[in-house]
Amino acid sequence: MRRRDLIAGLLLIPLATPVLAAVKQISILHSGFPNRTPIHVLIEALGALGYENGNTARIELLGGEGDPKRLEALVAGLAIKKPDLIISITSPAAIALKKAGIVTPVVFAFVTDPIGLGIVKSLTHPGGNFTGITYSEATMGSKRLELLLDALPGTRRVAVIWSHAFSENTAIIETIRQAAQARGIEILSRELEGVQDLAPAFDDVKQSGAQALIFITDNLMFGRRQEIAALALSHQLPSIHSFPPEVRDGGLMSYGPDQTENYQRAAALADRILKGTRPADLPVEQPTRFALHINLKTAKALGLTIPPSLLATADEVIE
């Protein structure tokens, strides 16, 4: 079966179908468009642990599509269905479940500040029914700036395009500013107002004299990867992003926690909970692997030569 067929098939299995007691009912809630992400890695990790969709498990895949009202409706549905476990992907999904008072065990992933967002009490003792995988996007912001400057020696003005779709983004911007100030770099911040604002945002940062770009994606923008890469190229703005698919679709670079590891560890936490461990007793985990991806095709199109020392540290180089 092709991968996309497997994922699409998940939507065909209603969670309310009568099943044997041994069959676990798992809902995966993504605040954006899960089929535009490597969600198959999570499905495969669950299968490897014995939760085979349609056999030993009923797996439901739900996407909020970047719409808060749709996400709220999906959460309301989960409160009624009461699956054995919910895997929550991204901060908005986890926040929506927390605000709704969901009592089902929840494993979250790609949530950057679960304490600050009020999802858990602490990383070591989360309390309640939430645990998961976290990492500091704020730290990632300063690291992405560092890598961008390593790739582009002599750069003095860097733009950041971002939105308030994820509340943590404000902290990321502040961390980037602090790191830039320490290196004498000027940061030009441009907040996005929606998909229709993409092209104007690129026009603005180019006109401001920016020499390079840090693009902070969100649910809607992640689905516009090719358009964003094309805009960066047409505006001659070397860019660094959060996730590898953004680079494979034409962005210059990305740096962040290894996606495969995040999905696999989320599946492992889900397995422990489904076997009887309380989420409150499972510390929130942090990534151990971080990955740098570089697109040499894009570098060539931009007329850039990436330093060999940086290429040597990359986990993937697209030629």
Cβ contacts of residue 173 below 8 Å, gap of 6+?
Answer: 141, 160, 162, 187, 189, 216
Domains and CATH numbers, the chain: 3-134+258-288 (3.40.50.2300), 137-257+291-318 (3.40.50.2300)
User: What integer pLDDT is reported at residue 78 of this predicted model?
Assistant: 98
User: What integer pLDDT is reported at residue 163 of this predicted model?
Assistant: 86
User: What integer pLDDT is reported at residue 222 of this predicted model?
Assistant: 83
Question: Containing H/E element for 108?
Answer: strand 106-111
Q: Which residues of the chain have pLDDT under 70?
A: 1-21, 137-138
User: What integer pLDDT is reported at residue 119 of this predicted model?
Assistant: 96
Strands 253-257 and 239-241: parallel
User: What integer pLDDT is reported at residue 137 of this predicted model?
Assistant: 65
pTM for the predicted model, two decimal places: 0.83
User: What integer pLDDT is reported at residue 281 of this predicted model?
Assistant: 96
User: What integer pLDDT is reported at residue 169 of this predicted model?
Assistant: 79
Read off φ and ψ for residue 131, nearest 5 degrees.
Answer: -155, 175
User: What integer pLDDT is reported at residue 171 of this predicted model?
Assistant: 80
State the Cα–Cα distance between residues 115 and 300, nearest whole angstrom: 42
**Could you report the per-residue pLDDT of 297-319, keeping only the tens digit for each?**
999 999 999 999 999 999 999 99
